[in-house]
């Protein structure tokens, strides 16, 4: 996709490229090339909070707070701008790109904090997993996601995702400028199809609960004080972790698009009455590698609690490497071995498990790999092996548990 914006006689031409999430941006970027929500650092021309070197909670907020330093200062007199996002760009990536477009088109746009800030705050909350609601029809991020899901055809490209996202963001900002709040805007964005989908998601959530496995796990509530952000990060020492018991839930291929938002706030059906603070969700993938089935696992805690998963990503990465060695398979593209410290986050592999360092250690996700020329997030581990790592993590921190 390419588009042109003009401001005061100057026309900008935007082009896009899409890379696997977790890709590290080149050390030196050419002028006018901006990486958003990917790149593994927060630096000139690279606005990514996943590297752990910034406490800003989203790429969108990085653009919002540091546009002049990290974006504008990297734009030369050339009118061609290249934006790099991750594949299947999510709300944060799309909104960050939208902000860059708008701010270059309108020099004073980024200063319009009065109208922008509620939107920026909502995008950051969504990216950090802080959205919980029993009334999804008034939740702007939920409605945005549902509009994207239903209005994009299966054949839609990443460029199509960005274009539709821009349209929704343009309309939202216009309504914010007219004094409406996001809850009101959400209700106005709901189409009949989205309304029906939200009702269906509530119904299928209860069905998902019937097939889910509920359990309890000890999770740490205190992190290590000194974190080596350019190296693998281990668990906090048990005596300092101050772990306590949390309700956990495992689900395979959830049917409800609102499973996460509803489960985290489900005090009625969780044993401790605090909602499901730990979630292990497995997605079966259609792809395999040398006849080896692949799955995506997303492990998360509720960011509104003080639970975290510091060190769990490293444990899963070690288990992944152990499994790869046992299977004696050639490395999946993306899982190639490199020198110690040369891989992402200082690992010995190009794309390790994401340990959550850019999300306050509240989410752990699979490595980014390439299968059949498609970029995806996948693991060779079985559900049982992932669960065994979770149990080991629980045992490691439980000796320092709170009374």
The pLDDT score that the predictor gives to residue 403 is 38
Assess if residue 197 is contained within a domain: no
Query: At which residue do the structure tokens 């070197």 appear?
Result: 53
206 or 130, which is more confident: 206
Burial class (CB in 10 A: 0-12, 13-18, 19+), 385: middle
Per-residue confidence band for 396, with pLDDT thresholds at 50, 70 and 90: very high
CB 247 within 8 Å of CB 273: no
Q: What does the alpha-carbon distance between residue 314 and residue 311 come to, in Å, rounded to a whole number?
A: 5
pLDDT at 400: 65
Position 134 confidence tier, pLDDT thresholds 50, 70, 90: confident
Average pLDDT over residues 217-238: 87
Which pLDDT score is estimated for 182? 95
Is the residue at 207 inside a domain? no
Residue 198 in domain: no
Residues in the chain, overall count: 403
Q: Are residues 15 and 142 in the same domain?
A: yes
- pLDDT tens across 7-52, in order? 344 678 999 999 988 899 999 999 999 999 999 999 999 999 998 8
Q: Are residues 281 and 381 in the same domain?
A: yes
What is the per-residue pLDDT across 216-227, written as a single tens digit (0 to 9) for each?
999 999 988 878
Q: What are phi and psi of 328, to 5 degrees?
A: 55, 45
Domain identity same for 41 and 159: yes
pLDDT at 6: 40
- For the chain, the average pLDDT equals 91
Residue 330: which domain range? 212-398
User: Same domain for 182 and 124?
Assistant: yes
3-state SS, residue 398: helix
Q: Of 24, 23, 111, 37, which is closest to residue 67 (Cα–Cα)?
A: 111
124/233 same-domain check: no
The last residue of a domain, from among 157, 190, 223: 190
What does the block give as tokens for 126? 């969504």
- State whether 183 and 263 are in the same domain: no
Q: Does residue 227 form part of some domain?
A: yes
Last residue of a domain, one of 190, 225, 259: 190
Same domain, yes or no: 180 and 232: no
Q: What pLDDT sits at residue 402?
A: 55
The DSSP code for 145 is H
Q: Does the residue 329 lie in any domain? A: yes
All residues at 6 or more sequence positions from 153 whose CB lies less than 8 Å from its CB, including other chains: none
156, 277: one domain: no
Q: How many domains does the chain have?
A: 2
pLDDT digits (tens, 9 = 90+) for 362-388: 999 999 999 988 889 999 999 999 999
Does 312 reside within a domain?
yes
Query: Which of 291, 302, 296 minimizes the C-alpha distance to 365?
Result: 296
Q: Residue 4: pLDDT above 60? A: no
Of 130, 160, 190, the domain-final residue: 190
Domain match, 219 and 71 both: no
Among 318, 317, 312, 324, smallest CA distance to 280 is for 312
CA 100 to chain centre: 20
199 found inside a domain: no
Does 47 fall in a domain?
yes
* Reported pTM: 0.76
Tokens of 259: 């499973």
Do 286 and 168 reside in the same domain of the chain? no
The pair of three-digit structure tokens given for residue 189, joined into one six-digit string: 């964005």
Question: Out of 95-104, 110-119, 197-206, which region has the weakest mean confidence (pLDDT)?
Answer: 110-119
pLDDT confidence of residue 8: 41
Taking alpha carbons only, the member of 238, 241, 234 closest to residue 346 is: 234
User: How large is the average pLDDT for residues 349-371?
Assistant: 94
Do 391 and 353 belong to one domain? yes
Alpha carbon 199 to chain centroid distance?
25
C-alpha distances in angstroms, 387 versus 2, 281, 311? 44, 11, 15
Looking at the structure, do residues 116 and 226 belong to the same domain, yes or no?
no
Q: What are the tens digits of pLDDT across the range 138-185?
A: 999 999 999 998 899 989 999 999 999 999 999 999 999 999 999 999
């Amino acid at each position: 996709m390419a588009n042109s914006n003009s401001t005061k006689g100057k026309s900008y031409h935007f082009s896009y490229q899409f890379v696997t999430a977790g890709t590290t941006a080149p050390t030196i970027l050419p002028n006018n090339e901006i990486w958003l929500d990917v790149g593994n650092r927060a630096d000139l021309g690279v606005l990514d909070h996943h590297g752990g070197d910034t406490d800003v909670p989203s790429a969108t907020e990085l653009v919002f707070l540091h546009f002049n330093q990290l974006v504008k200062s990297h734009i030369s007199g050339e009118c061609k701008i290249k934006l790099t996002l991750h594949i299947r760009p999510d709300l944060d990536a799309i909104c960050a790109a939208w902000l860059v477009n708008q701010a270059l088109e309108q020099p004073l746009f980024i200063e319009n904090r009065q109208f922008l800030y509620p939107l920026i705050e909502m995008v950051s909350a969504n990216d950090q997993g802080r959205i919980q609601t029993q009334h999804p029809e008034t939740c702007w991020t939920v409605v945005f996601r549902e509009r994207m899901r239903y209005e994009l055809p299966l054949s839609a490209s990443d460029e199509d995702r960005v274009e539709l996202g821009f349209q929704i963001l343009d309309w939202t900002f216009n309504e914010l400028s007219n004094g409406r709040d996001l809850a009101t805007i959400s209700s106005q964005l709901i189409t009949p199809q989205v309304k029906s989908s939200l009702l269906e998601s509530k119904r299928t959530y209860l069905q998902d609960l019937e097939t889910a496995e509920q359990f309890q796990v000890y999770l740490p509530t205190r992190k290590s004080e000194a974190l080596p952000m350019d190296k693998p990060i281990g668990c906090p020492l048990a005596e300092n972790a101050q772990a306590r018991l949390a309700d956990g839930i495992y689900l395979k291929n959830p049917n409800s698009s609102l499973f996460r938002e509803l489960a985290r706030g489900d005090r009625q059906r969780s044993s401790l009455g605090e909602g499901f603070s730990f979630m292990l969700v497995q997605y079966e993938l259609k792809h395999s590698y040398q006849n080896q089935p692949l799955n995506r696992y997303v492990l998360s805690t509720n960011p509104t609690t003080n639970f975290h998963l510091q060190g769990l990503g490293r444990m899963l990465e070690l288990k992944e490497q152990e499994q790869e060695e046992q299977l004696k398979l050639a490395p999946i593209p993306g899982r190639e071995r490199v020198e110690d410290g040369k891989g992402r986050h200082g690992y010995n592999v190009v794309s390790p498990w994401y340990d959550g360092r850019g999300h306050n250690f509240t989410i752990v996700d699979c490595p980014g790999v390439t299968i059949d020329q498609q970029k995806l997030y996948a693991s060779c581990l079985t559900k049982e092996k992932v669960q065994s790592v979770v149990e080991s993590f629980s045992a490691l921190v439980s000796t320092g548990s709170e009374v």
